Structure 1
Amino acid sequence: MTSTEELLDAVVIGAGQAGLSAAGQLLRKRVEPGTGFVVLDANDGPGGAWRHRWDALTFDAAHGIHDLPGMPLGTPDPREPASRVVSRYYGAYEEQLALPVIRPVDVRSVDHLQGVFTVTAADGRQWRARTVINATGTWDSPYVPYYPGIAEFTGRQLHTRGFTAAQDFTGRSVLVVGGGTSALQFLLQLHEAGATTVWTTRRAPDWTDRFLDASWGVDVESSVSARTTMGLPPLSVVAATGLPVTEQYLAGIAAGVLVSRGPLRRITPGGAVLDGPGPDGGRVPSQGDVADRLLAPGGPASGGLDRVPALTGRACTAVSSEDPLTTWETPVDTILWATGFRASLDHLSPLHVRERGRGVRMERDGVTVAKMPGLFLVGYGASASTIGATRAGRRAAVQAAACL
């Protein structure tokens, strides 16, 4: 379907976990595939954002893939790249349900006039529908914060989105910026591949030793939903979940690889200026209450900070008169920005659903956009995880069917 002449009941934008869950639920609500709804995917094959993940991210290192409705994932080889596992799984789901996925479609805008949405692609194709379920996720909106000197850095800079293999950095000195789980995975892989790593976080790493049970998941969703119902942009995933102290991460802390050297203050042409006690390894900033307890004498990571490798560095002058703390510079030739993503919602700009703070105010169901009846966001806010995306996709489809 490539014209606006036929009016669909729903258009689903995105074929990741949330979009496929929504599509499957539309089928269960007896919305006809093809003539009643379509799924538009920007990729040239199944897998959503997972198809772009680096091969070194094996399935056992991925933080869980929730089953799609009615089709268990099973038990894949934990050593297989997660990108292949998920792409194969999503593809099988599309085939089993005969979902009307159209790809590749680069959606550029969504308009709304007289109760009808018009979805326009970059190549001019259009689809008209009574409802839109937006499941575009975050992969296409990488976030790199500004730091003084970032434009003058002479080495290589890349974001999580551009990472392919740790072996590309063997023998390099890499500054990893970010406090989430992707930063942890990068640090461990880079260290194993023979790179020299320096980890910088804005504040002490948010380690947690809380057991990740069902109540924990409910608490996380509740805290995120509290923001989105007020129209505030969602915080980062780690701000809501914390960093779980797994055996792998505990070993990384004890070895000194997963130890933050302090916040980044500025970037020099050949290095980075950090605000911490110094590069010698003898003193490091607090790693937060949980990690400090683990590293205390008698703890499971006892003595870890004593083994933190010394870094080449020199003392620097204070960044400003208002910030007199001692800073130091360490030379690096690569900066890896593991600083997360933002929701990919630019194509919804014509609908003016963003609040002043750039968030979208959601109804209490977590999927309905308050300012635009008939528009549903899934994979946004509390539904950013795969389990949350599955639930939100089903919920959005139920709400869309109710609109019809």
Structure 2
Amino acid sequence: MIGAPRLVDVLVIGAGQAGLAAGYHLRRAQADFVILDAQSQSGGAWRHAWPSLRLFSPARYSSLPGRMMPPSRSGDYPDAADAVAYLTDYERRYDLPVIRPVTVHNVRRGDACLRVETDAGIWRARIVISATGTWWRPYVPYYPGIGDFTGRQLHTADYRGPEAFCGKNAVIVGGGNSAAQILAEISTVARATTWVTRRTPRLLPDEVDGKALFDLATRRHHAALAGESATGISDLGDIVAVPAVRQARDRGALKAEPMFSRITPHGVAWSDGAELACDVIVWCTGFRPALGHLAPLRLRGPEGVIPTTGTRALGEPRLHLLGYGDWTGPASATLIGAGRTARDTVAEVMKQVSEVSDG
């Protein structure tokens, strides 16, 4: 592929759930497109998640367009392996033109096209859909003393299972779903677990899952566009009560403490002088959008994200961003949300391609 730049109408960066959903609709539209993926195998970020991670919805509500996710063999809520198998089958079933492993280094402006520079050569595309997600940019906040801690520190992205925590004193940081699921698992083998959060975490009612959350996010999005208010996810709670989390709740393992103010060589400390010794700190503190390849376009806003209208970048109309979170579509970082957002994105992309061709 190295040599003269290849020209396509649409180039998708990333073959995770958002990129594949875009590929499905581009295939249906008979578009001239290609998907470049940095991973050596199918499955996106799900391939790198810890094995016991559970999706927040049953399989029937965790599907991409055109193909339902099969029921999980591990219970009502599919696990990471189920997601990998589903995405692998999805990519194959629709014969999506994924080229891997190809790492995209930079996207730059050209006269008529965007120039996509990769480790396997240069592509030119009339439209680029960036769907690289967030998994590749784990976020750990700074606290005084963080560099002095003599124990182990790891992020959600590094967690692989509870075995390494047997007999340890562990501190789990963060008030979201990943923190609750990891705490639920570690608390069954650790000597002691301490959960610290910036605000009191709230479990959603047992009957609320990811499908309900997506519907709430969609209604809130449409209400905002109409200048109205609507109930949001945060009005109900923060954490989906998947079975392992319910079990941890029922045995009293989900009691959260206020956030510490600093880290000591052997633990953590609060502003009132209290200290806690620990062997390991698990940072379940989220991720940031993986947008480094778009840096040459100079599009980032003051909050670190790229301003968009829908999924289209305001500062570069030939660029769409798909699957990074609510700012690129309601619940677009979820399987069901990515699929629905991709449909609207591809409809707009094909209109843009047609206008360019007619011009």
Instruction: Determine if contact 1:153/1:269 at 8 Å carries over to the other structure.
Output: yes
Instruction: Determine if contact 2:170/2:190 at 8 Å carries over to the other structure.
Output: no
Aligned pairs for 1:51-70 within 5 A: 51-57=47-53, 61-64=54-57, 66-70=62-66
For the pair 1:379 / 2:326, whether they are aligned, the reply is: no
For the pair 1:149 / 2:145, whether they are aligned, the reply is: yes
| CA gap 1:221/1:81 in 2 versus in 1, 3 angstroms | closer
Instruction: Determine if contact 2:129/2:320 at 8 Å carries over to the other structure.
Output: yes
Secondary structure at 1:68 match in 2: coil
Give the TM-score of the pair, scaled to structure 1.
0.77
Which amino acid counterpart does residue 392 of structure 1 have in structure 2? T
The aligned length equals 336
Segments of 5+ residues of structure 1 without an aligned counterpart are 229-236, 275-318, 320-325
| CA gap 1:208/1:84 in 2 versus in 1, 3 angstroms | closer
| CA gap 1:227/1:138 in 2 versus in 1, 3 angstroms | farther
Residue 97 of structure 1 is matched in structure 2 by 94
Secondary structure at 1:199 match in 2: strand
For the pair 1:206 / 2:152, whether they are aligned, the reply is: no
Secondary structure at 2:147 match in 1: helix
RMSD: 2.6
Segments of 5+ residues of structure 2 without an aligned counterpart are 226-232, 327-331, 354-359
Secondary structure at 2:41 match in 1: coil
Residue 343 of structure 2 is matched in structure 1 by 394
Secondary structure at 2:172 match in 1: strand
Instruction: Determine if contact 1:264/1:272 at 8 Å carries over to the other structure.
Output: yes
How far apart are residue 210 of structure 1 and its match?
8.5
Which amino acid counterpart does residue 312 of structure 2 have in structure 1? T
Runs (4+) of structure 1 exceeding 6 A deviation are 224-228, 237-241
Residue 112 of structure 2 is matched in structure 1 by 115
Instruction: Determine if contact 1:133/1:377 at 8 Å carries over to the other structure.
Output: yes
Match of 2:314 among 336, 354, 370: 370
Instruction: Determine if contact 1:207/1:245 at 8 Å carries over to the other structure.
Output: yes
Secondary structure at 1:264 match in 2: coil
Secondary structure at 1:350 match in 2: helix
Secondary structure at 1:335 match in 2: strand
Which amino acid counterpart does residue 108 of structure 1 have in structure 2? H
Task: Find the structure with the greater CA-based Rg.
Answer: 1
| CA gap 1:195/1:107 in 2 versus in 1, 3 angstroms | farther
Distance 1:125 1:114 in 2: 19
Residue 136 of structure 1 is matched in structure 2 by 132
1:359-401 Cα deviation digits (max 9, x unpaired):
22121xx311121112111102221121111112222222111
Match of 1:265 among 261, 264, 272: 261
How far apart are residue 142 of structure 1 and its match?
0.2
Identity of matched residues, %: 38
Which amino acid counterpart does residue 346 of structure 2 have in structure 1? A
| CA gap 1:238/1:378 in 2 versus in 1, 3 angstroms | farther
Residue 188 of structure 2 is matched in structure 1 by 192
| CA gap 1:215/1:336 in 2 versus in 1, 3 angstroms | closer
Mean alpha-carbon deviation: is it higher for 79-88 or for 98-107?
79-88
How far apart are residue 218 of structure 1 and its match?
3.8
| CA gap 1:77/1:195 in 2 versus in 1, 3 angstroms | farther
Instruction: Determine if contact 1:47/1:83 at 8 Å carries over to the other structure.
Output: no
Instruction: Determine if contact 2:106/2:296 at 8 Å carries over to the other structure.
Output: yes
Instruction: Determine if contact 1:271/1:331 at 8 Å carries over to the other structure.
Output: yes
Instruction: Determine if contact 1:3/1:127 at 8 Å carries over to the other structure.
Output: no
Distance 1:198 1:215 in 2: 30
